[in-house]
Structure 1
């Protein structure tokens, strides 16, 4: 029971699931958190060595339970990956307050709540926090007033956490994925958008879930022992170009 343990939120699919799998390959114990209990159960079915927790990161009581149950199961918490997020896009005029709050509750409040609740456990292990932001938090684009703002806030929250928690040996970093070839993205991106992304990204392609997971797990590992307060865009160079995509404006 002395092996390292990571909590990954939003772990039922996509980047979160890829990250959980990479941790497992490295010999870590993993608590997989997601509010989609059905999808989480499907993911857990082939990963019997993981702890599946059907919880909502925007609910303080659920968050406390995540930490308590993980610590009871693994005996320690060494890393927290705040990956859970929701994406709702649309024009500013169509973003009502209910939509704004739905996005902020998970994308920003969840990161705050989980990190705060995990801090006592991470102090004991000099652990690591990785917050999943987005290139939408680094550069403004249309249709993302709530989503982009939430991710920009996560970036600053990461720096606040790094500044305050560093004295306990806790490292806090953010990863900003660019376009990633997830099932959801491929379902909603038109061919025009796909072609535009390929043209705008210096590496001329979407990233994979596994590639993002590699960056996340590196930041949680001892190999990144002197890295904190950093914001890493894992985006094929997209953020560096500073070019908007007309195809995404409609």
Structure 2
């Protein structure tokens, strides 16, 4: 074990869980943040899930204040996010507020809370963005706007922290096969060349962390070979 700690949000499933497994392979002690730790079946002696609702700023502050062995924190992966798509007038104010908190405010608060430690440790901060933040998406105006904000925050943070040897990385995945699409009316196509897997995103994180050349990758866009989505079929 390298004695270093990592914090991963949305760590109980999908990209967050895959990234957590890669960090464990590299010898990190991983603290994963999620709403429902009991729903995660993966277990490892160095993998610890912390219950926290990232839509609640007070719970985020509690997470920051109580995080164990803060002086050993070297990696933060801001991965958690969710989307509600639809015409703007059909989105409830409550869901819009939750999206703002989880997709944008939470990464900002977590970064704010731990940056001094990462400066001391010359650590890494990862942001998992979305292609929705770069392109127009029908009925995805709120989610896309928040991801665009996250992208810009990461880019500005890179310039701010590079002089302190803190490495800031923005990963922008295209269509990835996770349960992100569970409540949406679209989903990845069945063609295996039309979607990414969470493990592939985690591999990018692994490659960045293993690189010792002094070269920094501030932003990387990861896409499948083909662009295909399909509408879900609902039985009446």
TM-score tier after normalising by the smaller chain length: 0.7 to 0.9
1:32-66 CA deviation, whole Å, 9 max, x = no partner? Answer: 111223324x44xx223212211123434433443
Matches within 5 A, 1:19-34: 19-34=19-34
Whichever structure has more strand as a proportion of its residues is: 2
Distance 1:57 1:99, change over 3 A: closer
- Rounded to whole Å, the distance in 1 between the matches of 2:58 and 2:106 is 12
RMSD: 2.8
Distance 1:190 1:120, change over 3 A: closer
Q: What is the aligned residue count?
A: 232
Are 1:111 and 2:107 counterparts? yes
Distance 1:57 1:186, change over 3 A: closer
Are 1:101 and 2:101 counterparts? no
Whichever structure has more helix as a proportion of its residues is: 1
Are 1:164 and 2:152 counterparts? no
Contact 1:7-1:32 within 8 A present in 2 as well: yes
- Rounded to whole Å, the distance in 1 between the matches of 2:213 and 2:138 is 34
Structure 1 residue matching 2:73: 3-state secondary structure? coil
Which residue among 234, 241, 244 is the counterpart of 2:222?
A: 234
Distance 1:186 1:98, change over 3 A: closer
Where structure 2 has 5 or more consecutive residues not aligned to the other structure, the ranges are none
- Rounded to whole Å, the distance in 1 between the matches of 2:157 and 2:185 is 34
Partner residue in 1 for 2:7: 7
- Rounded to whole Å, the distance in 1 between the matches of 2:36 and 2:112 is 23
Where structure 1 has 5 or more consecutive residues not aligned to the other structure, the ranges are none
